[in-house]
Amino acid sequence: PTPHAGAAGGDRLVVVAHRGASGYAPENTLAAVDRAAAMGFGWVENDVQRTKDGRLVVIHDATLERTTNVKLLFPHRAPWRVRDFTAGEIARLDAGSWYGRRYAGVRVPTLQQYMERVSHNHQSLLLEIKNPELYPGIERQTLALLDKEGWLDPSHLTDRLIVQSFSAGSVRTVHALRPGIRTAYLGTPQVKELRAYARFADQINALYTKLSPGYVSAVHALKGPHDKTMRVFAWTVNGADEARRLDGFGVDGVITNVPDVVRTAVTAR
Ligand code: G3P
Ligand code: CA
């Protein structure tokens, strides 16, 4: 992809590959990151959680059984929580076979491995801190790793990285620890509450069914912590009609499992 590419085919809408190009490759794996890159998409989204021995890994669910073969390898370890397994144990799991035989042997990436691949591909990252209530201090730990990998350099902070969470407290913590980072709150606060969110969140990333043109305008009327117009991204938008409708609402970005479908829909308008 074009470095820093966010817009779809020159269009203004930012298209983010949700959990990587997860409509075409197993979610939250390096294969899904590479698939997004091969399709020309510069933005990928992921989910970050923590292992028993304190390593950050990229996986969506709080448990391992949906997206790995953990039941086969560790049949007596129910309920197979991410936080009850070491990084070494998780590294042995197959995170690709559930999706398709050609992805057999694909692993759950560590956050470090994931970021190295995103950097290598010249992509940008929408990083979600997932279930932060389960992992005290995960915000500080994630930022330390991002810093070590060069992701908190000024060149990345402007347009290569956004940190998001469903937890307002987590987003607020990220903003307090490193005020330069662009942040997003995952949810749809009431319009009268938006001003409070604008103190620590640069954008609202909303479930698309909750959005309306009026809500998008209300967000756009505010400035975020970096004194720029607050933005709205919609998730998870996997249909051409929905993509066109949300583009019509004036959203700034769309998070999708099928980025090619969204790009085709909005450029064909
Ligand atoms: O990026 C938005 C979206 O990822 C939030 O929902 O459950 O897919 O993490 P979820
Ligand atoms: Ca997510």
Q: What is the pLDDT of residues 15-54, one digit of tens each?
A: 999 999 999 999 999 999 999 999 999 999 999 999 999 9
pLDDT at 193 over 90: yes
Instruction: Determine, yes or no, domain membership for 81.
Output: no
pLDDT at 7: 38
| Residue that wins the pLDDT comparison between 156 and 86 | 86
Whether the CB of 47 sits within 6 Å of ligand 1: yes
Tens of pLDDT, residues 211-259: 999 999 999 999 999 999 999 999 999 999 999 999 999 999 999 999 9
pLDDT at 157: 83
pLDDT at 156: 79
- Please give the share of the chain, as a percent, with pLDDT higher than 90: 92
Catalytic residue list: 18, 60
Preceding omega of 79 cis (within 30 degrees of 0): yes
pLDDT at 6: 42
How close is the Cα of 72 to the center of ligand 2, in Å?
Answer: 26
pLDDT at 268: 73
**What ipTM describes this predicted complex?**
0.98
- Write phi, then psi, for 47 (nearest 5 degrees): -130, 130
Instruction: Determine, yes or no, domain membership for 137.
Output: yes
**Ligand 1 atom closest to Cα of 255?**
1
pLDDT at 4 over 90: no
**Atom 7, ligand 1: residue with shortest CA distance:** 60
How close is the Cα of 60 to the center of ligand 2, in Å?
Answer: 7
pLDDT at 182 over 70: yes
Whether the CB of 61 sits within 6 Å of ligand 1: no
Strand partners, 35: none
- Side chain identity at residue 215, one-letter code: Y
Per residue, the 3-state secondary structure of 16-67, as one string, reads EECCCCCCCCCCCCHHHHHHHHHCCCCEEEEEEEECCCCCEEECCCCECCCC
How close is the Cα of 236 to the center of ligand 1, in Å?
Answer: 7
**Atom 3, ligand 1: residue with shortest CA distance:** 235
**Atom 4, ligand 1: residue with shortest CA distance:** 18
Nearest ligand to residue 207 Cα: 1
Check which CATH number belongs to the domain holding 34 and give it.
3.20.20.190
Tens of pLDDT, residues 160-172: 999 999 999 999 9
Cα 262 to Cα 70: distance, rounded to the nearest angstrom? 34
Torsion sign (Cα): 53, 56, 60, 66: negative
| Residue that wins the pLDDT comparison between 154 and 135 | 135
pLDDT at 88 over 70: yes
Instruction: Determine, yes or no, domain membership for 95.
Output: no
pLDDT at 199 over 90: yes
Whether the CB of 27 sits within 6 Å of ligand 1: no
How close is the Cα of 10 to the center of ligand 2, in Å?
Answer: 25
Domains of the chain: total:
1
Instruction: Determine, yes or no, domain membership for 44.
Output: yes
How close is the Cα of 126 to the center of ligand 2, in Å?
Answer: 9
Instruction: Determine, yes or no, domain membership for 92.
Output: no
pLDDT at 269: 65
**Atom 10, ligand 1: residue with shortest CA distance:** 60
Q: Domain range spanning residue 39?
A: 14-62+110-267
Instruction: Determine, yes or no, domain membership for 191.
Output: yes
Whether the CB of 235 sits within 6 Å of ligand 1: yes
pTM of the entire predicted model: 0.95
- Mean pLDDT is lowest, of 5-14, 173-182, 196-205, 217-226, for 5-14
Instruction: Determine, yes or no, domain membership for 90.
Output: no
pLDDT at 226: 95
Whether the CB of 200 sits within 6 Å of ligand 1: no
Instruction: Determine, yes or no, domain membership for 77.
Output: no
